[in-house]
A and B are shown apart, each in its own frame.
Chain A
Amino acid sequence: MAHGPAKGITRWLFTTNHKDIGTMYLWFSFAMFLLGGVFALVIRAELFEPGLQLVEPAFFNQMTTMHGLVMVFGAVMPAFVGLANWMIPMMIGAPDMALPRMNNWSFWILPFAFAMLASTLLMEGGAPNFGWTFYAPLSTTYAPPSVTFFIFAIHIMGASSIMGAINIIATILNMRAPGMTLMKMPLFVWTWLITAYLLIAVMPVLAGVVTMMLMDIHFNTSFFDAAGGGDPVLFQHVFWFFGHPEVYIMILPAFGVVSQIIPTFARKPLFGYASMVYATSSIAFLSFIVWAHHMFTVGMPVAGELFFMYATMLIAVPTGVKVFNWITTMFRGSMTFETPMLFSVAFVILFTIGGFSGLMLAIAPADFQYHDTYFVVAHFHYVLVPGAIFSITAAVYYWLPKWCGNMYNETMGKTHFWMAFLGLNLTFFPMHFVGLAGMPRRIPDYALQFADFNMIASMGAFLFGAAQILFLFNVIATIRGGKKATDEVWENPEGLEWTVPSPAPYHTFSVPPEVK
């Protein structure tokens, strides 16, 4: 198996190689990131000033919906699967993923699914306009006809996620090199193992809920219709049973990435490895019993409000353990601040801000005020942008030299970081204020008193967008040339991936390494 990749386009179409597939996932994710980013900029352009300037309110709704869907299912999730594909086999000393053909299948479903989803923009009645959370009856009784295509797109991307997750679990449980015991696995592998479990547990529930919608729309069932004895609130329960674990699906691998990077640049082993593993597991467990914190205002019995309030607050404990461990890892380390480290440190700080606003939202009586305001938007963008997105960016800078054999341009990397950092804080920090002052989310126009903050947010958003173009440019330049990277790339980094040459050969660990 010493041979290299096939020539031409078939290399990508027919590949079974985890590195090729990882690369395709990452490029696909970046394309979706740009597409979702364009949708976001349409939103921010409209909100630059009060009043209706650029788009129709109906189209505005399509933009918020498509932005959320594309970012969650098209940008963040595939990026992490791409990283898993590239790194997990190399980190555990495996020759490839456990089921290489299914691996390629998981990937190739995605372009089809998203082409179908994006094509709804051109359909009569427009794209889905009911928000990425697609609450019934907005998404059933009052939905545009394109909802059917949306439903099937969700079905097949769910199938892709489930197959991807099965593959990752089989790889981790079955393909570790001799001596690579579970408690020696790098944390990125650990967090992905748990994420894959979450995916297999909740993607079928998402499939279930869209199936119920499909039946209500086309076959007159009564799942979400009180006239027949169903309940629209049922939709929200089933959706959030998927939805809350889903947000952890988007953040646990990010925890893993950051736990790889911080020790390298602090030049100290990760503080509290075992506690990280246990904290990740408890977060995963708790994520199944907190879903109704998204539904405090929907009219639940008081016992339900209390249960979900306290269960949600409990999550702050293992999350706190993680933040503590990252900070303690850095404490008295001999730190340097290369681009991946900058993104990781920013991750720790800004994600924590998002965690705190989450805690505020978890207080049920307070959430009666905050719910469906920009405060919620600020919260989840603080956990997703400097959380999930920053960790993905950090991972790309960290491992890119291993992938392509060249060092990226550090100055450009740092410029990217500061632009992104500034841009996102300008965009999302003011949202806390307008939210607390009562500006509702998902509206194309707003009261005059919110004007200044919204203008700042819009300018920040365009700055953030521009930063990503620089990122793209830097990555392409690195792939095409640049200073040669050493095999270790960084100073004494931990892990098997640094024992193979840079760029990593097409096939690594055909013979399993011995792990001490």
Chain B
Amino acid sequence: MSSEGSYYVPEQSKLPIVASLGLFLTVFGAANWLNGDSKGPTILFCGGLLFAFVLWQWFSAVITENINGMNSPQLKRSYVWGMGWFIFSEVMFFAAFFGALFYVRTFAIPWLGGEGDKGITNEILWNGFQSEWPVMTTPDMAVNGDAAKVSGPGQSMSFANVDSLWSWLPFWNTVVLMTSSVTVHFAHTALKNDNRKGFNLWLGLTVALGIFFLILQAEEYYEAYAHMGLTLDSGIYGTTFFMLTGFHGAHVTLGTFMLLVMFLRSLLKGHFKHDDCFGFESASWYWHFVDVVWVGLFIFVYILG
């Protein structure tokens, strides 16, 4: 609540409707592509380009307004609320996929394996399937052997033994991402102290760590596909593994990109002051959120996986 006199209500703007068009073309193209229409990729590409262009314009407009002093403290609070609730919505998106993982592990797999009242499906449909996690032998394989359409992975990504911790890639992924959460915090502190050099340095380091994480992740996926027989379609284990880590990776990519933009804004344009740095702050909140999701993944997908 506030008593500040005039809240800046922007004039008419072409941005929203063009953004809607871009978003629509993007998904329309994607749907056509998936359904095997040859025009799909072109529509998707044009839509995506349009969408990216509008977002660029949009963010530039907001930044310019702020530089021109049009944003009252009250308006800035609106942006803070907006970002906060957006992150909450992202949390709920991940909750759906974590929920699916928990449900499958606690209920679906044991029932398929014949446990309790619901185990009757095992006798009738999936005779021979053994409840296990990771599911290496899918119910389909248990029943149909080599004729199975859905086969399990050759190997899983779960934590094997303590001795190999130091050579275990997810462990290093965790170290990298946790460190980057600290460095982005140092960047923030530097900015608060008006230390531009320190800010750029810590922020640049954070971006580098983000990229490093993505490289490690790519390496992990390569290993999975090339050497472990672990793919998106290797049963429920492959499904949950790639969907959870994949969406997380997509968010790391977005987060890294956001931080990179903030880095360039600071480096090239000298943006952000110790008391005026919402763009950077929101990117850093996003980064912390991505980090927390990773901790969840590390525990439930890798260690207890």
| Cβ < 8 Å to B, chain A residues 214-258 | 214-215, 218-223, 225-231, 233-234, 237-238, 241
B88 engages A200 (CB within 8 Å): yes
B23 engages A174 (CB within 8 Å): no
Q: Digitize B195-210: 1 where CB-to-A-CB distance is under 8 Å, 0 elsewhere.
A: 0000000000000000
Instruction: Give the distance in Å from the alpha carbon of A351 to the alpha carbon of B24 in the complex.
Output: 37
Give, as a whole number of angstroms, the nearest-CB distance from B135 to chain A: 4
Identify which of A43-51, A149-157, A448-456 touches chain B: A149-157
Q: Which of A227, A234, A238 contacts B140 (CB 8 A)?
A: A227
**A231 and B103 in contact, given A13-B17, A108-B20 (Cβ under 8 angstroms):** yes
A1 engages B9 (CB within 8 Å): yes
Provide the residues of chain A in CB contact with B90, threshold 8 Å: 204
| Cβ < 8 Å to A, chain B residues 186-238 | 232-233, 235-238
Task: Please report the total number of B residues contacting A with Cβ < 8 Å.
Answer: 76
B27 engages A155 (CB within 8 Å): yes
Identify which of A97-105, A130-138, A378-386, A411-419 touches chain B: A97-105
Chain A facing B: main interface SS: helix
B82 engages A98 (CB within 8 Å): yes
**A222 and B82 in contact, given A228-B239, A238-B99 (Cβ under 8 angstroms):** no
A226 engages B85 (CB within 8 Å): no
Give, as a whole number of angstroms, the nearest-CB distance from B60 to chain A: 13
Provide the residues of chain B in CB contact with A227, threshold 8 Å: 138-140, 148-150
Instruction: Give the distance in Å from the alpha carbon of A17 to the alpha carbon of B9 in the complex.
Output: 8
B112 engages A16 (CB within 8 Å): no
Instruction: Give the distance in Å from the alpha carbon of A230 to the alpha carbon of B121 in the complex.
Output: 13
Provide the residues of chain A in CB contact with B96, threshold 8 Å: 204-205, 207-209, 212, 238, 241
> Is A426 in the interface zone, CB < 8 Å from B?
no
A228 engages B236 (CB within 8 Å): yes
A156 engages B27 (CB within 8 Å): yes
Q: Digitize A140-169: 1 where CB-to-B-CB distance is under 8 Å, 0 elsewhere.
A: 000001001101110110010010011101
Instruction: Give the distance in Å from the alpha carbon of A181 to the alpha carbon of B1 in the complex.
Output: 8
B19 engages A237 (CB within 8 Å): no
Instruction: Give the distance in Å from the alpha carbon of A373 to the alpha carbon of B242 in the complex.
Output: 39
Identify which of A109-117, A315-323, A399-407, A461-469 touches chain B: A109-117
**A166 and B86 in contact, given A152-B28, A180-B1 (Cβ under 8 angstroms):** yes
Instruction: Give the distance in Å from the alpha carbon of A207 to the alpha carbon of B81 in the complex.
Output: 22
Closest to B91 in A: A204
**A205 and B121 in contact, given A229-B104, A229-B139 (Cβ under 8 angstroms):** no
Instruction: Give the distance in Å from the alpha carbon of A145 to the alpha carbon of B2 in the complex.
Output: 52
Q: Digitize A187-213: 1 where CB-to-B-CB distance is under 8 Å, 0 elsewhere.
A: 000000000000011111101110010
Instruction: Give the distance in Å from the alpha carbon of A166 to the alpha carbon of B152 in the complex.
Output: 41
Q: List 21 A-B contacts (CB under 8 A).
A: A98-B81, A99-B78, A101-B10, A101-B15, A102-B16, A105-B17, A116-B31, A156-B24, A174-B2, A200-B88, A201-B89, A205-B95, A212-B96, A218-B34, A221-B243, A228-B150, A228-B233, A230-B236, A231-B103, A238-B100, A241-B96
Chain A residues within 8 Å of B, Cβ to Cβ: 1, 6, 10-11, 13-17, 94-96, 98-105, 107-109, 112-113, 116, 145, 148-149, 151-153, 155-156, 159, 162, 165-167, 169-171, 173-178, 180-181, 200-205, 207-209, 212, 214-215, 218-223, 225-231, 233-234, 237-238, 241, 299, 301, 507, 510-512
